[in-house]
Structure 1
């Protein structure tokens, strides 16, 4: 695939990731996303307004959250907004949508995702006849016979793939160790926009050993292998990128990430964590780049067993994945997590120049996967 005039990410930032109910719990989604949009504009040596704002979100109040966030950020009222819901893959899907807008003629789009699990509205199904309203826990992802809870579905995926408890705990401990080391040495600092006085991710825990993780009980089924320790944390946060066309990129003369290819795929909704496997295979085929040629791999670590099952199926060494820790340690702000992957790739490839090609991949409820290949330029 030719990438000569492909869209280019020229800036990428995120909030700290807060554990739900903790450091960012008082902030609604638009108040998480707005500071990131404002900071992206401040990073660019141009007064050009974006043509659009595209943001992913899963559990917010509804309406057009991207438009609300843009207005909260003080952007001109002439700039529209588009909210994307592809569940956990929403943030990466939003950047994909934005790249298509740029290919279609837009010069500059802000795109990413935002999630405030802490302030998500409490809803209920309406009463029918003499019945009481039924609490609404989440939207259905699939017909009832295949609409399993994420924890159970990914526990079963790990079992299907033969990924045992010890291996999952070891991978989770690795994620925390890597993220804690990166946090301690300031690796994350340049990509983080402080919000409400919060400057650091809540969740990374130094010294979280396999032995400590082994004491935790299965969380989703008797005899299962997924626990609170080898699963991600429910989180709050926002992440976004500034995406420009090739001509504007040349004018700005900034290091960036060229979007080489993207792909979205579907799998059995009863095993949603597998969704990133066909998405990765398709995006590599579209890009003409082999997995061995990819220098930086960022996969959303929803569950250790899920990541390991997907790595095994792809023939991907798990030690290549998230070498500075992933969602197991940082947290998983659902609608933002796909964009967080791109922020991490931007930091590694465009800022620190640690390689040429990057791969971002994420699975989502309903049996979906989104993947993207980028190239440092």
Structure 2
């Protein structure tokens, strides 16, 4: 039996959401490793929640060793609280939220879920020597897919995706400039303040640039193809940051008596690894169908802005007006700390729908290397 979105259901509810400022790799957060970056967020959420049953964090490039467990202990959570680290590449933070929701549906009362990435302190990685006397071979990233299937760099894949969808350079630069303008305006009016936990001397996001114009972006050279359209200006940065949310059961939510975001539906999807940025499209369609909603029902849409061309191609596939996406600025301006970015999207939904009371329904969706997508649909509830 299915129910309409307006009917009360015993679904998980996000009752709190916080993040660090997002730093540019090599700058303000350069000396803070992944666990220590996540710890202040976990500590702040735990201090404002009932006893935490479990911690789930997404991470892509950390040192291993279960970063979530190290971060939870660094945050001062009790030794009895278990922790899980998940890796769905750029979708890891949002995947962690879906895992947290599943744990709540399975009986947990309170789960803190999110993600973290410290590009600045990510370990160097090497393949072992091919012979006894050989040297290790350093590599920048692990394979996202078998070479026989296709495993292009994300930027090149986004460039080809934009070309295939007729998204030209001017459109991409205009979208990127708008993201910066929106984020800078939100920062100026204090719109990120309630969701941000300072880390050391870093109190605000480092990347947004007020006054950045499409004309200035138009001077940058293509990164991946001589006649390409993806540049450093219309791509996300390389960043450090952490974000997490507190997910509780419907019963715990009733006891707390606070507003929150009811998780109506989650979905994951696979697409061609040669065009990984399209993962947003089928994941969004599945999540909306499970929630019994359409794009027209949504008040807030947060898509991860890895590349302007990729977002615009997804909007074209979804018949979604790009003006509706990330109205307070997205990852092109704020940055894309890979393992955390999906959780940042949910924090942004919480700030707009709950803290600001701006509507009822929201969507967070992100694509991931290897050709995957994750989406979550939420409803503001009293």
- TM bucket (normalised to shorter chain) is over 0.9
**2:144 matched to which residue of 1?**
141
SS in 1 for 2:254: helix
After superposition, give the CA deviation of every residue in 1:270-313 in whole Å (9 maximum; x if it has no partner). Answer: 00000010000111111100110100000000000000000011
What TM-score do the two structures reach when normalised by structure 2? Answer: 0.97
**Unpaired segments of 5 or more residues in structure 2?**
none
Partner of 1:243: 247
The aligned counterpart of 1:132 is 135
What's 1:26 paired with? 31
Q: 1:197 offset after TM fit, Å? A: 1.8
- The CA distance in 2 between the partners of 1:25 and 1:207, in whole Å, is 26
Matched, 1:347 2:351: yes
1:290 aligns with 2:300: no
Q: Specify the SS of the correspondent of 1:25.
A: coil
Alignment of 1:182-197 (within 5 A): 182-197=186-201
Name 2:18's counterpart in structure 1. 13
Q: Structure 1 residue 152 and structure 2 residue 156: aligned? A: yes
What secondary structure is seen at the aligned counterpart in 1 of 2:242?
A: strand
State the shift of 1:41 in Å. Answer: 1.9
String of CA shifts for 1:94-152, please: whole Å, max 9, x gaps: 00001000000000000000000000001211111243211121110001141000100
Partner of 1:179: 183
1:206 aligns with 2:222: no
Q: SS where residue 115 of structure 2 aligns?
A: strand
Matches within 5 A, 1:53-132: 53-129=55-131, 130-132=133-135
State the alpha-carbon separation in 2 of the partners of residues 49 and 71 from structure 1: 14
SS of alignment partner, residue 144 of structure 1: coil
CA distance in 1, matches of 2:216, 2:175: 13
1:254 to 258, 261, 268: 258
Structure 2 residue corresponding to 1:36, chosen from 12, 27, 41: 41
Superposition map of 1:351-362 within 5 A? 351-362=355-366
Could you tell me how far apart the structure 2 residues matched to 1:97 and 1:43 are?
A: 21
* Aligned with residue 321 of structure 2, among 317, 320, 324: 317
Paired with 1:293 and 1:137, the residues of 2 have a C-alpha distance of 41
Deviation at 1:221, TM superposition (A): 1.3
Aligned partners of 1:197 and 1:190: how far apart in 2?
17
Once superposed, which parts of structure 1, at least 4 consecutive aligned residues long, lie more than 6 Å away? none
Output the CA distance in 1 between the equivalents of 2:166 and 2:222: 16
Residue of structure 1 in register with 2:375 after alignment: 371
Equivalents in 1 of 2:372, 2:85: separation in Å?
Answer: 18
Query: Separation in 2 of the partners of 1:244 and 1:138?
Result: 35
- Equivalent pair of 2:46/2:77 in contact (CA under 8 Å): no
State which drifts further: 110-119 or 144-153.
Answer: 144-153
Instruction: Please state whether the residue corresponding to 1:247 is helix, strand or coil.
Output: helix
User: Considering only aligned residues, what root-mean-square deviation do their CA atoms show, in Å?
Assistant: 0.8
**What is the CA–CA distance in structure 1 between the aligned matches of 2:58 and 2:109, rounded to whole Å?**
20
Deviations 1:220-247 (A, max 9, x none): 1111000000000010000000010001
How many residue pairs end up in the alignment? 374
Deviations 1:242-263 (A, max 9, x none): 0100011011111100000000
Please give the alpha-carbon distance, in whole angstroms, between the structure 2 residues aligned to 1:352 and 1:4.
24
Q: Give deviations 1:296-337, integer Å, cap 9, x for gaps.
A: 000000000000000011000000000000000000000000
